[in-house]
A and B are shown apart, each in its own frame.
Chain A
Amino acid sequence: MGLFLAQAAITCFIPPVKISRLAKQIHFIGLQSMLVIVLTGSFTGMVLGLQGFYTLNRFGSEAFLGPMVALSLIKEMGPVISGLMVTGRAGSAVAAEIGIMRISDQIDALTLMGLNPFRYLIVPNLLAALIALPLLTAVFDVVGILGGYMVGVKLLGVGSGTYFGEMTNYVDFSDVLEGLYKSLSFGVIIAWICCYKGYYTGIHTGFGAEGVSRATTQAVVFSSVLILVWDYFMTSIMF
């Protein structure tokens, strides 16, 4: 698996990059995931607003609702939940598409044309995930903060100035960078695992529709678990 990632990474730097395929994958992984990201982001922010308000209320610290919601989203929940959502929506489809290409000999056909399957199938997905994940995470964070605002300010009566004022006091650029690094690494994990599982459908998972199904399941489960495990290690290093 490490060799697979290394080969994909090296191929990224060997021109030409298939621009049309890259644009198609950015559209698929990024733009088409927007709705699910907006939905999950807004409800995550609203729940954080609700839970945060009642927890902080016990200590008389409702004023810190803004930074609490923002830091939870920017540092942790934004990258992680975006990563999990993209894994479920786009990663599974990528694994299935490449898996079907494998079992129907389309990847071998590419190879026999003297073309590098990594350049056509893996690199566009890897680059698209690297570009799309931070952008989706940013959308998730913004929508989540607005969701927290709706609940905390509009429903529960925290002051609007307090919500955003304390947020600007306590959220640093380093917190945003931490979220960015996480989302970038999750992008790599999703593209890596899902492409790998699809690419080796048949060899590792059995052939036919069942093989594709197993490859897709393994891709989603393995990517999701790895995102959470990697998140723990990144957090422990960055604190």
Chain B
Amino acid sequence: MHQEATRARPGAGGTGGMIRIEDLHRSFDGLPVLKGVSLALDQGELLALIGRSGYGKSVLLKHIAGLLRPDSGRVLIGGEDMAGLRGRRLSRLRERLGFLFQGGALFDSMTVYENVAFPLREKTRMSEEDIRERVLEELSRVGLSGAEEKYPSQISGGMQKRAALARELISEPEIMLFDEPTTGLDPIFGHAILKLIDDLHRRLGFTGILVTHEIHKVFEVVDRVAFLHEGRIQAQGPPDEILASEDALVRQFVRGEIEGPISVE
């Protein structure tokens, strides 16, 4: 079971005890998307990764998860280089990670219960009775008691995200990556998901990266914000600092202004 954890002290940049990204480059069909991203996160820190749509935030998360391999640069998880690992060692490192996909990525041929139970059934030797207890506990934690026998297509987008969150958290990951967890949800559901993530982060103490466009709401729950623009981290720091930034790029993005150095065309 998770231990109650205290949140990392907010700061301008982590030391990279848990995640360290060094000069990451990645192109697709000759088009550079990441042009030297460097970022470091301490254990227990929750970071919001913000930036324009289509500018590589999800690509960066997939590199951290080891789903994509960089053209150059390194991603170190707990000091281990993802790109240098293969087979069972890579699988073991991935087991330390949880990834909440934009669409939830629930297995659509399984019920909510089967989805959440799946990692335990496949990766542990727990009895079905113990699995049931853990699944019901996890579903209750994300507010989904009573939805066990429903299929993903029978529940709302917000419930799908909660179910997906329960499936990730049941393996007690040390690192959680959230890829736009509020996209497609109404403001109330979106806020509820962010509050749930904040609550779970406080209770479980995972290290997390949260990609989102909910600038102001997410600033209330994270320790640090990093702004990805044109393939690089253009600015990072505590939420208050980013909000008060005099940098023209950051200010335009955070305030959502049309006029400024970022072209809207």
Residues of A near any B CB (own CB < 8 A): 100-101, 104-106, 108-109, 111-116
Please give the distance in Å from B198's CB to the nearest CB on chain A. Answer: 23
Q: A104-B108, A106-B108 are in contact. Are A112 and B94 (CB under 8 A)?
A: yes
Please give the distance in Å from A116's CB to the nearest CB on chain B. Answer: 8
Task: Please give, as numbers and ranges, the residues of chain A lying within 8 Å of B101 by CB-CB distance.
Answer: 105, 108-109
Task: Please give, as numbers and ranges, the residues of chain A lying within 8 Å of B65 by CB-CB distance.
Answer: 108, 112
Closest 5 CB pairs of A and B: A105-B105, A114-B91, A109-B105, A114-B95, A105-B101
- List 21 A–B pairs whose Cβ atoms lie within 8 Å, in order of A's numbering: A104-B105, A105-B105, A106-B105, A108-B62, A108-B65, A108-B67, A108-B99, A108-B101, A108-B105, A109-B99, A109-B101, A111-B67, A112-B67, A112-B94, A112-B97, A113-B123, A113-B171, A114-B91, A114-B92, A115-B123, A116-B91
Bound Cα distance from A147 to B103, whole angstroms: 51
Q: A105-B105, A106-B105, A108-B101 are in contact. Are A113 and B67 (CB under 8 A)?
A: no
Task: Please give, as numbers and ranges, the residues of chain B lying within 8 Å of A114 by CB-CB distance.
Answer: 91-92, 94-95, 123
Q: Which of A108, A112, A114, A116 has the most CB of B within 10 A?
A: A112
* B94 x A111 contact (CB < 8 A): yes
Task: Please give, as numbers and ranges, the residues of chain A lying within 8 Å of B67 by CB-CB distance.
Answer: 108, 111-112
Task: Please give, as numbers and ranges, the residues of chain B lying within 8 Å of A112 by CB-CB distance.
Answer: 65, 67, 94, 97-99
Please give the distance in Å from B33's CB to the nearest CB on chain A. Answer: 16
Restricting to B169-219, which residues have a CB under 8 Å from any CB of A?
A: 171
Task: Please give, as numbers and ranges, the residues of chain A lying within 8 Å of B105 by CB-CB distance.
Answer: 104-106, 108-109
B10 on the A face (CB < 8 A): no
Residues of B near any A CB (own CB < 8 A): 62, 65, 67, 91-92, 94-95, 97-99, 101-103, 105-108, 118-119, 122-123, 171
Please give the distance in Å from A39's CB to the nearest CB on chain B. Answer: 28
Shortest Cβ distance from B62 into A: residue: A108
* B94 x A104 contact (CB < 8 A): no
Task: Please give, as numbers and ranges, the residues of chain B lying within 8 Å of A108 by CB-CB distance.
Answer: 62, 65, 67, 99, 101, 105
Bound Cα distance from A105 to B122, whole angstroms: 19
Task: Please give, as numbers and ranges, the residues of chain A lying within 8 Å of B102 by CB-CB distance.
Answer: 105
* A115 x B122 contact (CB < 8 A): yes
Bound Cα distance from A104 to B105, whole angstroms: 6
Specify which of B103, B106, B108, B122 is in contact with A113 (CB 8 Å cutoff). Answer: B122
Shortest Cβ distance from A116 into B: residue: B91
Task: Please give, as numbers and ranges, the residues of chain A lying within 8 Å of B106 by CB-CB distance.
Answer: 106
Given A109-B99, A109-B105, 15 other A-B residues pairs in contact with their CB atoms under 8 A? A101-B107, A104-B103, A105-B101, A105-B102, A105-B103, A106-B106, A108-B67, A108-B99, A108-B105, A109-B101, A112-B94, A113-B122, A113-B171, A114-B91, A115-B122
Task: Please give, as numbers and ranges, the residues of chain A lying within 8 Å of B107 by CB-CB distance.
Answer: 101, 106, 109
Please give the distance in Å from A105's CB to the nearest CB on chain B. Answer: 4
Please give the distance in Å from B29's CB to the nearest CB on chain A. Answer: 11
Bound Cα distance from A40 to B43, whole angstroms: 63
Q: Which of B62, B97, B99 has the most CB of A within 10 A?
A: B99
Bound Cα distance from A112 to B179, whole angstroms: 14
Bound Cα distance from A11 to B4, whole angstroms: 40
Task: Please give, as numbers and ranges, the residues of chain B lying within 8 Å of A104 by CB-CB distance.
Answer: 103, 105, 108
Task: Please give, as numbers and ranges, the residues of chain A lying within 8 Å of B97 by CB-CB distance.
Answer: 112
Shortest Cβ distance from B95 into A: residue: A114
Shortest Cβ distance from B115 into A: residue: A109
Task: Please give, as numbers and ranges, the residues of chain B lying within 8 Å of A105 by CB-CB distance.
Answer: 101-103, 105
Shortest Cβ distance from B119 into A: residue: A113
Please give the distance in Å from A61's CB to the nearest CB on chain B. Answer: 55
Task: Please give, as numbers and ranges, the residues of chain B lying within 8 Å of A100 by CB-CB distance.
Answer: 108
Bound Cα distance from A43 to B105, whole angstroms: 44
Bound Cα distance from A111 to B92, whole angstroms: 11
Bound Cα distance from A106 to B106, whole angstroms: 6
Bound Cα distance from A108 to B99, whole angstroms: 9
Shortest Cβ distance from A110 into B: residue: B107
Task: Please give, as numbers and ranges, the residues of chain A lying within 8 Å of B62 by CB-CB distance.
Answer: 108
